[in-house]
Amino acid sequence: MWTLSGFADEIGPDLNDQLEVVVDLGLSYIELRSVWDVNVLDLSDAQRAEVAAALADRGIRVSSIGSPIGKIAITDDFAPHLDRMRHCVEVAQEFEAPYIRLFSFFMPAGGNPADHRDEVMRRMSALAEIGGAAGIAMVHENEKEIYGDIPARCLDIVQTVDNEHLQIAWDAANFVQCGVRPFSQGYTMLRPHLTYVQIKDALLAEGTVVPAGAGDGEVRETIRALREDGFDGFFSLEPHLAAAGPFGGFSGPDLWRTAHEAFTRILTEEGIAFA
């Protein structure tokens, strides 16, 4: 049984609006990134308590903290980011989230990522140590323009850091936008470390984000292989169908429903049970 989750903040900033759609679609999990246009790591104690109460009231749990950890330039001061990571762990524990999503730092425009590899690995090791000490699973997402934007560098990170708590979050659309055919060029390489899947698709020609299965993200091939491999985990809708930026996206309730319908239709056609 595969478990669906999603970035409910793409429905809209209001918590009740987010949860109304999520509950109506029958989801039991969300990936918590922002509420009221405030990032989850910047919510006050009172705001987090309000979110937790609303989730509990509707029987919704948190699959992952959709954090911005690692979304700073590799040349930015790292020390404050370590404190932010420690806070992120506390937030994950507060919401009983089994995963934290993180990234591997924006590279200077036009530069060679290899020039910053050692510093990336130092920083990723430090982040993994903080999360690992708390027993939190961390998943690195292949965001555009960070060190780990293509499969080979994603693999480099998890193998070099070599911390069992740091694994891979698979984002097909981001790979496509980096000129990669995800399944053909990345699946075999990354599958041993793949524990979490973000659902969005994109067109290779211009990078436009589209519903799952409508682009070049090889979604069907990937889910067929995951089924054959016995994958049993979260699939998190991150539609980005109306707007997208380096720190989030927006779809609105109707397009969020479109994204949900597109992916669940594929699962149904493939005979895959989900909840």
Q: Kindly compute the dihedral angle of the four CA atoms of residues 211, 59, 90, 68, in this order, to the nearest 10 degrees.
A: 10
**What average pLDDT is seen over the chain?**
97
Average pLDDT, integer, range 214-242 = 97
Average pLDDT, integer, range 9-22 = 98
Q: Residue 249: its pLDDT value, please?
A: 83
Average pLDDT, integer, range 101-120 = 97
| Count of other CB atoms within 10 angstroms of residue 203 | 16
pLDDT in tens, 26-41: 999 999 999 999 999 9
Confidence of residue 224 (pLDDT cuts 50, 70, 90): very high
Average pLDDT, integer, range 102-130 = 98
Q: Residue 21: its pLDDT value, please?
A: 98
Residue 56 reports pLDDT greater than 90: yes
Q: What does DSSP assign to residue 116?
A: G
Element (H, E) at 250: strand 248-250
Distance CA 273, CA 275 (A): 7
Percent over 90 (pLDDT), the chain: 97
Q: 3-state DSSP call for residue 152?
A: helix
List the domains of the chain with CATH numbers. Answer: 3-269 (3.20.20.150)
Average pLDDT, integer, range 96-120 = 98
Q: Residue 205: its pLDDT value, please?
A: 97
Q: Residue 247: its pLDDT value, please?
A: 74
Diameter over CA atoms, the chain: 49
Paired residues of 27 in beta bridges = none
Confidence of residue 270 (pLDDT cuts 50, 70, 90): very high
